[in-house]
Amino acid sequence: MTTYDAVVFDHDGVLVELTEMDLLRRAARAAFAEHGVDDPPEALVEHAADGDLDDLARVEDAFDLSLAEYWASREDHAIDHQCDAVESGAKPLYDDVTALADLPHRKAVVSNNQHETVRFVVDHYDLADHFEHVAGRDPTVEGARRRKPETHYLDAALDELGTREALYVGDSPKDVEVAHRAGVDSAFLRRSHRADTALDREPTYEVETLTALAERLAD
């Protein structure tokens, strides 16, 4: 059995339910309105909601608006909308997050979501005592380009924890890939929203719940 010094978790789809795309579209539209664009093309709204920066760069020519300025506004609105969703109960924790208490390992969170959003969720749901390190992306274009499967944020967490004997737990192919690139094992959490997700790379473990993961690591 492989033993680990640390277990690092993704955030959305692992600890807390995914953010609704309609919420991110509203954030994208609010950011456009903040810059005087009241009727943005739906294609650009979708690119902004999805975080497709290369396609979203068209805002610079279409509206004489820098991508960096627009993205900063989009991130601010996305943070506000998601924190509101957490407070209203629209973005709840998964019930099996209680399994964190069954893992004796040092633990951390590394997410593609904004750092302020992730920190708010961890604090709101009283999870801070579980984690030595919590990191989401910087709310900048550069921060967005460092999202998984780039290893920037995961490497920083592993350096903070002082180990590469770690397991990264996520719910997407990008999570399996970033673990591989960082040289650590991976656990793919196949929740209901990933029932039909195909993986390009085989994870070290595949489980349906955090409870099942804790049991596997205890074997």
What would the pLDDT profile of 161-196 be if each residue is shown by its tens digit?
999 999 999 999 999 999 999 999 999 999 999 999
Q: Which of 4, 3, 25, 9 is nearest to 168 (CA)?
A: 9
Calpha distance 207→52 (Å, rounded): 30
What would the pLDDT profile of 91-126 be if each residue is shown by its tens digit?
999 999 999 999 999 999 999 999 999 999 999 999
Q: Which of 216, 116, 126, 112 is nearest to 167 (CA)?
A: 216
Q: What percent of the chain has pLDDT over 90?
A: 98
Would you state the pLDDT for residue 89? Answer: 97
Q: Is 1 helix (H, G, I), strand (E, B) or coil?
A: coil
Would you state the pLDDT for residue 219? Answer: 80
Dihedral over Cα of 97, 115, 138, 58: its sign: positive
Mean pLDDT calculated for residue range 143-152: 98
Calpha distance 198→205 (Å, rounded): 15
Mean per-residue pLDDT of the chain: 97
On the question of pLDDT at 1 being above 70, the answer is no
Mean pLDDT calculated for residue range 187-211: 97
